[in-house]
C-alpha cells in the first residue's frame, strides 16, 4: 500500500488520503499540544467578521497576525481588482502597547465569547465609505477613500457598544453607563441620558440579556435617525455576591458582582425613546407585569412605531408588541406559548413599503418562517417540514425571495436556501452546493453572498458567490499546500465518519467518530467521548476542526461526539425531554453512545473516558457517577454542580423556579436536587475525576467547584484538581490552554492506557 501511494505521488503529484486531497509532500511531524494552540493557526488564515460593503464593492474582514492569530487587524478584498490589502494595523493605533480594557468591556467580551484582541468589531457606514471600530478605549473611523483612520473620541472614559446611525451622520456609544452620540463631521458630542450610575444602566444590556438571551446591546436607532430607543436597567434588586478572584500573581481581589441566582430577583427594566433633537424621553408601556424579560427591540420602517418582545418570567409566553411612540397606542401582534419554554430568535423582518412582516416560530414543532400582516394575522407559512429553518438572512422584496440558513438536507450540515415571499413552503431551493457548514453574509441587494464554510476534509474557506451559488472569486481559498501551517501534520490527520444510533425511545441520535490515521482494525483502542449535551448547542457538525480530539487520535484514542436528546436543531420535542429533568435523558443517551463504542471489536469497552466543558463538565460528572461501570475516567472543566447557583434566565427556562408549584412539586419531586450532581456522587469511583476550573469565573462561579470538592472529600472520593488563577469561564491564553490540554492528555494516558 505504501509503495502504491508513493507511485501515485510520483506520477500525478497528488494522492487522495482518507478522502482529503493531499499535496505531494510528506512531513509526518508530530502535532504537539503547544503547536496546536500556538501561531500561526493550524486552520490556516483566521478570517472572521466578514462583511459585504453596502455598495457591493468590497468584502472586509478581521484577520489575525502571523505572529499571534489572536491579535486582529482590519482587511479588505476589493471585488473589482481582486486585491487583498490591510486597512488598519492595530499595532499602529496602539503603538505596540497592550490594550487595557475597562471592566465593562472585559465583561462584554466574556459574554460574547470574544477571546481575540486588537480590532474585534467594526461596522460600515450606510454609504459604505467609512468603517467604525473601537480600539484602545476610543472610537476610530476609517475613511476608505482617504485610506486612513481618524480618532473620533479621546477621553479618559471607555466607549463601548459603538454604532453608526442608520444614515451615517452620527456615531452612538455608551460611556460611564450613559448613552452618547457624536456628530461624525464636526466631532460634537451630545449626552442623551444622565441617570446612569451605580446600579442604574442606561442603554446597556444586563447580565442575563448578554449571557443567555443573545442580546448584547441596550439601545436601537430609529431608521430616520430622529430617535433612539434605549433600556433603563435598575440592578438594585439583584443580589450582590462577593466573588473572590485569585490572580496569577497570588493576589486575591473581592469582586462585588450582581448575579441573579435561580429563583431570586432580576433587574427592573424600562424602555425609553429619546429624541435626538430635543432630548425629550417618552417611556414605553411594557405592561402591568414588571417581572419580565425584554428580549428584543426593533423599529418599524416608519420610525414611528416600535416593536418589542416581552417574555414572561417562566419563559412560557412571548408577546410581540407594537407601540406608537408618541400616542402610546399599543397592540399585541403575536403571542407564542409553550408548555415547556419559548426559544428566542432574531427572525423579525418588516417588509419595505408593505404592511407585512416575517416572523419565526416553533409552533409546528420545528422552527419555520411565517408571513404576517401588521395586525399579527398569519398570511401563510414560508417554510415547513420536519427540519429547522435556523436563521432569516435577507429578504428581496422586488424579487419576491426570502433567504435563510437551515437544515433541510439533514441536521449535520447547514446551508443557505431560498424561499418565496408569497407563501409556498414547497418552493425551496438550496443555494450552497458544497458539503459542510456554511455561514452566510448577503449583499444588501441580495445579488451575491459571502460564503464562509468548511467540511471535515476542507479547512475554512471564504468565497464570493452569485445568489445562485456559483463561484465569483475566492477571498480566502486556504488550500492545503506545502506552505499551509497544517501541512507538516497532514499525514496523521484523523477525519470523521458520521452515523446514527437509536435512543431508548427510537429517536435517531447523530454521532461523529474519529479514528487514528493509522487505524488498524485488528487492534483494540481506548475511546473517549467529547461531550456537551446541553440545550441550544449542536456538536455533531460536518465542519473542519483541529483541536484536542486530533491530539487524542494521534495518541491512540478513538473519539466520539454524540448529540443527545435535548441538543439543538432537531425540533422542539427533541429538546423538550430536558424540561424539569436535566441530568437524565442526556445522560442515558451518552451512555448509549459509550455502549455503542464498547460493542465495536476494535474498542476496549473497559477503557472508555469522557471530557467536557461547562454543561459538558456537568455531564462528565453525571456520567462518571451514574455510569461508573461504563466510564473509567473523565475530565470536567468549569462544571455547574448545583443549578441553584446558576442564573435565572438559563436555569429557570429548563427547570422552572426552585419553588415552582407544579405537577412535579406536587408529586414530591425536587427537580433542582435531581438535576444537581450531588445525589449521584456516592457511586463515583475514586480517582476517576479530574476537575478543572478558572478561579475568576464570573459565569459558572468557582463556588460550584468548591462545593463539589467539599462533597467529594466528605464522601471520601479521591479526585484530581487543577485550578487556574485569574482565569474566567473560557480559561483562555496560549500557555494556559497548553497546560490544560497537556494535563488532560496525561490524565487519560494514566487512566486508560495499559
- 143 in catalytic set: no
CB 510 within 8 A of CB 594: no
The CA distance from 727 to 723, in Å, is 9
User: What number of CA atoms fall less than 13 Å from residue 112's CA on the CB side?
Assistant: 16
Within 10 A of 348 (CB to CB), how many other CB atoms are there?
A: 17
Catalytic residue among 323, 614, 676, 688: 614
Within 10 A of 254 (CB to CB), how many other CB atoms are there?
A: 9
Question: Rg (Cα) of the chain, in Å, rounded?
Answer: 26
- 55 in catalytic set: no
Alpha carbon 287 to its chain's center: 31
User: What number of CA atoms fall less than 13 Å from residue 363's CA on the CB side?
Assistant: 14
The total number of residues written for the chain in this structure: 754
Chain position carrying cell 445579488: 447
The CA distance from 209 to 401, in Å, is 32
Catalytic residue among 452, 697, 698, 704: 697
The angle formed by the CA atoms of residues 245, 246 and 251, to the nearest 5 degrees, is: 115
- In three-state secondary structure terms, 460 is strand
The CA distance from 70 to 52, in Å, is 23
CB contact set of 513 (below 8 Å; sequence gap of 6+): 496, 497, 498, 499, 558, 559, 560
Chain position carrying cell 407601540: 323
The CA distance from 45 to 452, in Å, is 12
Q: For 414, which DSSP code? A: B
The CA distance from 623 to 688, in Å, is 11
**Which of 152, 141, 137 is closest to 104 using CA atoms?**
137
Q: Could you tell me the three cell numbers for 468?
A: 445562485
- Peptide bond preceding 40 in cis form (omega within 30 of 0): yes
Pairing of strands 720-724, 689-694: parallel
Catalytic residue among 368, 372, 693, 729: 729
- 227 in catalytic set: no
CB contact set of 89 (below 8 Å; sequence gap of 6+): 73
CB 719 within 8 A of CB 693: no
Q: Could you give phi then psi for residue 228, rounded to 5 degrees?
A: -130, 130
For 184-251, strand residue ranges (E) read: 189-191, 200-202, 219-221, 227-234, 240-246
CB 337 within 8 A of CB 316: yes
Q: Could you tell me the three cell numbers for 159?
A: 466607549
Catalytic positions are 614, 697, 729
Amino acid at each position: 500500500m505504501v509503495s502504491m501511494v508513493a507511485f501515485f505521488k510520483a506520477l500525478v503529484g497528488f494522492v487522495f488520503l482518507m478522502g482529503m486531497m493531499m499535496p505531494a509532500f510528506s512531513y509526518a511531524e508530530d502535532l504537539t499540544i503547544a503547536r496546536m494552540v500556538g501561531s500561526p493557526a493550524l486552520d490556516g488564515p483566521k478570517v472572521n467578521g466578514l462583511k459585504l460593503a453596502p455598495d457591493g464593492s468590497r468584502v472586509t474582514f478581521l484577520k489575525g497576525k502571523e505572529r499571534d492569530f489572536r491579535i486582529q487587524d482590519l482587511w479588505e478584498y476589493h471585488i473589482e481588482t481582486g486585491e487583498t490589502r490591510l486597512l488598519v494595523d492595530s499595532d499602529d493605533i496602539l503603538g505596540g502597547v497592550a490594550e487595557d480594557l475597562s471592566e465593562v468591556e472585559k465583561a462584554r467580551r466574556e459574554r460574547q465569547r470574544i477571546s481575540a484582541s486588537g480590532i474585534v468589531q467594526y461596522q460600515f457606514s450606510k454609504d459604505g465609505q467609512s468603517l467604525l471600530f473601537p480600539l484602545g478605549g476610543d472610537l476610530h473611523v476609517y475613511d476608505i477613500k482617504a485610506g486612513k483612520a481618524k480618532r473620533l473620541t479621546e477621553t479618559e472614559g471607555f466607549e463601548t457598544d459603538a454604532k453608526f446611525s442608520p444614515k451615517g451622520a452620527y456615531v452612538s456609544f455608551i460611556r460611564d453607563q450613559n448613552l452618547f452620540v457624536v456628530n461624525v463631521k464636526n466631532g460634537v458630542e451630545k449626552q442623551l441620558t444622565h441617570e446612569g450610575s451605580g446600579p442604574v444602566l442606561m442603554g446597556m444590556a444586563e447580565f442575563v440579556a448578554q449571557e443567555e438571551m443573545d442580546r448584547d446591546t441596550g439601545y436601537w436607532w430609529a431608521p430616520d435617525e430622529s430617535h433612539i430607543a434605549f433600556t433603563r436597567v435598575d440592578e438594585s434588586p439583584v443580589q450582590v455576591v462577593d466573588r473572590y478572584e485569585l490572580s496569577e500573581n497570588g493576589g486575591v481581589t473581592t469582586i462585588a458582582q450582581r448575579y441573579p441566582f435561580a429563583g431570586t430577583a432580576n433587574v427592573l427594566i424600562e424602555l425609553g425613546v429619546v429624541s435626538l433633537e430635543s432630548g425629550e424621553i417618552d417611556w414605553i408601556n411594557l405592561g402591568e407585569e414588571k417581572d419580565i424579560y425584554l428580549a428584543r427591540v426593533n423599529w418599524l420602517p416608519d420610525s414611528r412605531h416600535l416593536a418589542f418582545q416581552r417574555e414572561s418570567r417562566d419563559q412560557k409566553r412571548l408577546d410581540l408588541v407594537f407601540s406608537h411612540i408618541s400616542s402610546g397606542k399599543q397592540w399585541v401582534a403575536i403571542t407564542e406559548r409553550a408548555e415547556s419554554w419559548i426559544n428566542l430568535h432574531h427572525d423579525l423582518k418588516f417588509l419595505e413599503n408593505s404592511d407585512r412582516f416575517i416572523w419565526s416560530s416553533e409552533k409546528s414543532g420545528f422552527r419555520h418562517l411565517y408571513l404576517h400582516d401588521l395586525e399579527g394575522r398569519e398570511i401563510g407559512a414560508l417554510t415547513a417540514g420536519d427540519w429547522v429553518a435556523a436563521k432569516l438572512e435577507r429578504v428581496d422584496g422586488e424579487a419576491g425571495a426570502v433567504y435563510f440558513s437551515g437544515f433541510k438536507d439533514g441536521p449535520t450540515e447547514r446551508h443557505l436556501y431560498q424561499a418565496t415571499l408569497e407563501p409556498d413552503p414547497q418552493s425551496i431551493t438550496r443555494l450552497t452546493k458544497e458539503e459542510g457548514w456554511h455561514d452566510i453574509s448577503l449583499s444588501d441587494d441580495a445579488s451575491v453572498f459571502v460564503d464562509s464554510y468548511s467540511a471535515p476534509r476542507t479547512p475554512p474557506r471564504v468565497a464570493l458567490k452569485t445568489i445562485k451559488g456559483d463561484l465569483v472569486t475566492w477571498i480566502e481559498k486556504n488550500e492545503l499546500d506545502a506552505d499551509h501551517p497544517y501541512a507538516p501534520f497532514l499525514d496523521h490527520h484523523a477525519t470523521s465518519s458520521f452515523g446514527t444510533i437509536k435512543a431508548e425511545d427510537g429517536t435517531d441520535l447523530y454521532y461523529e467518530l474519529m479514528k487514528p490515521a493509522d487505524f488498524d482494525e485488528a487492534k483494540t483502542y481506548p475511546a473517549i467521548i467529547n461531550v456537551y449535551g446541553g440545550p441550544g448547542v449542536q456538536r455533531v457538525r460536518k465542519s473542519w476542526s483541529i483541536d484536542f480530539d486530533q491530539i487524542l487520535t494521534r495518541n491512540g484514542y478513538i473519539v466520539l461526539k454524540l448529540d443527545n436528546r435535548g441538543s439543538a436543531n432537531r425540533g422542539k420535542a427533541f429538546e423538550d425531554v430536558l424540561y424539569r429533568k436535566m441530568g437524565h435523558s442526556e445522560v442515558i443517551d451518552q451512555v448509549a453512545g459509550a455502549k455503542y463504542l464498547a460493542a465495536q471489536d476494535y474498542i476496549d469497552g473497559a477503557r472508555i473516558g469522557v471530557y467536557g466543558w461547562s454543561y459538558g463538565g456537568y455531564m462528565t460528572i453525571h456520567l462518571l457517577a451514574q455510569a461508573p461501570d461504563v466510564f473509567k475516567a473523565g475530565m470536567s472543566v468549569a462544571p455547574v454542580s448545583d443549578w441553584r447557583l446558576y442564573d435565572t434566565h438559563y436555569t429557570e427556562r429548563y427547570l422552572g423556579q426552585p419553588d415552582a408549584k407544579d405537577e412535579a412539586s406536587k408529586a414530591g419531586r425536587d427537580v433542582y436536587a435531581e438535576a444537581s450532581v450531588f445525589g449521584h456522587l456516592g457511586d463515583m469511583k475514586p480517582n476517576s475525576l479530574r476537575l478543572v476550573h478558572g478561579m475568576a469565573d464570573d459565569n459558572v462561579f468557582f463556588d460550584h467547584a468548591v462545593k463539589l470538592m467539599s462533597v467529594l472529600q466528605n464522601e471520601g472520593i479521591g479526585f484530581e484538581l487543577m485550578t487556574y488563577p485569574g482565569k474566567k469561564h473560557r480559561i483562555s491564553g496560549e500557555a494556559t490552554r497548553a497546560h490544560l490540554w497537556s494535563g488532560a492528555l496525561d490524565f487519560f494516558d494514566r487512566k486508560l492506557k495499559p
